[in-house]
Amino acid sequence: MAWVDLNQQQKAIDLLASRGVSLQDIAEVTFLIQKDYFADLTMDFCLHNVQKVLEKTEVQHVVFTGIALDELAEKQMLPQPLQDIVHSDMGLYGVDEILALGIVNIYGSIGLTNFGYVDKAKVGIVGKIDQIGKENDQCMTFTDDIIAAIAAAAASRIAHNNGKRS
């Protein structure tokens, strides 16, 4: 197997889908937080930007790392005390947000403020995934921050390109 896998983007997309998150869901969050700034913004354009964000290797690596931790927690396979901390989504545990910053940092300070907003307001799919993590045995501690970060990064990408396709 080659060290660099050209299908990594698709693997990241498949992993997100396995957690119940489609690119359409993420694009919807991007649309909701950008529609007031660009009058002719479309879902299609938001989806394009979400895909561009997922082309980045750094972003794919965050997806692989975060979702692996959530899945290991679901299988009770993390060492203690990390197992309980991650599985219970402990309030003081901020490593999930810190990891997600690896995505938003690529797009500068607009990315950071967008992420803070999506995370706090639990926009769209972010709120749904957060609820799923709280209500059943599934662990979404890292997953919710990752999708918030991808949506925020896509919004920032749109802002940086002033709403133009790139």
Residues forming contacts to Mg ion in the complex (CB under 5 A) are 96, 141, 144-145
Nearer to Mg ion, 11 or 134 (CB): 134
Phi-psi region of 5 (alpha: psi -120 to 50; beta: other; left: phi over 0): beta
**Smallest gap from residue 41 Cβ to Mg ion (A):** 27
Phi-psi region of 144 (alpha: psi -120 to 50; beta: other; left: phi over 0): alpha
Nearer to Mg ion, 28 or 144 (CB): 144
Nearer to Mg ion, 43 or 98 (CB): 98
Rounded distance between C-alpha atoms, residue 20 and residue 43, angstroms: 19
How many Å separate Cα 152 from the centre of its chain? 8
**Smallest gap from residue 49 Cβ to Mg ion (A):** 23
**Smallest gap from residue 105 Cβ to Mg ion (A):** 17
CA angle 139, 90, 133 (to 5 degrees): 25
In the bound state, the residue with its beta carbon closest to Mg ion is 96
**Smallest gap from residue 43 Cβ to Mg ion (A):** 26
